[in-house]
A and B are shown apart, each in its own frame.
Chain A
């Protein structure tokens, strides 16, 4: 794992790749997220319930994946305070034990207000695109 604090990003060029972030999400982590967020929907924490509603088992919270995606953007931009916007579509479920990998690249740079926009995606280790249509805006340091 890279250093916890990196220097703020001062410039970006269209096509720049965000440093990818990969994290293996365990059921223990999903349970911790359920407790910390207050979202105890049984599809995330109760395997029997999840199978009864047609899922292969419990699935991670989409918001947990989005939080990891936001962390990836913050690590690349040099801090959470640099992240102005994040959006995504929850396309496929992420299952416990799978690794989610967040990637992205710069699509526009606005020099007048010092921001860069990225397109983002997250894929699971089983090959599913779990988060799609991802977008973020970061504030460049000046």
Chain B
């Protein structure tokens, strides 16, 4: 189980190419059977794919931290997008364990995310709160 000693652990996923076809499929999935909104733009929450998941899966696979996926719930999420990301951009993503708290018999894991484009500009900052029951 995560504990205080894991705060500060950092995971990196460098050189993620923002895939245009992938972003279009993502936009279509958001729309469902409705018309896709702003089809030529990468949806901001595509950050889940280019920023969060590649680093989170490393964290979840970190045996020393020992996150139990069976009891894992995504509690809260925030995103800030200082600059747009476009298809073809190459993004470096990081995740850092920001906090570990035990409350009401559950563990609350706070994770800070950041992603930069090839020109160094920040395209996404995020904070995830994961609850492990």
Contact = CB atoms under 8 A, between A and B. Distances in A.
Given A29-B29, A33-B26, A83-B81, 9 more contacts: A1-B35, A32-B28, A36-B49, A37-B29, A53-B70, A63-B45, A67-B30, A74-B37, A83-B44
Contacts of B84: 80-81
Nearest to B49: A37
Given A80-B43, A84-B81, A85-B81, A71 B29 contact: no
Contact of A62 (B35, B39, B74, B127): B74
B42 to A, nearest CB: 8
B45 A85 contact: no
A133 interface: yes
A67 B45 contact: yes
A37 B26 contact: yes
Interface of B: 22, 25-26, 28-30, 32-35, 37-39, 41, 43-45, 48-49, 53, 70, 73-82, 84, 127
B49 A29 contact: no
Given A5-B38, A37-B48, A87 B29 contact: no
A78 B4 CA distance: 43
- Range, interface on chain A: 35 or more
Given A66-B77, A70-B44, A89-B75, A80 B38 contact: yes
Contact of A84 (B37, B41, B80): B80
Contacts of B22: 36
B79 A86 contact: yes
Given A23-B34, A37-B29, A85 B79 contact: yes
A50 B76 CA distance: 21
A79 B38 contact: yes
A1 B34 contact: yes
Contacts of A88: 76-78
A70 B33 CA distance: 18
Contacts of B76: 87-90, 133
A70 B45 contact: yes
A107 interface: no
Contact of B32 (A23, A70, A79): A23
Interface string A1-23: 10011000000000000000001
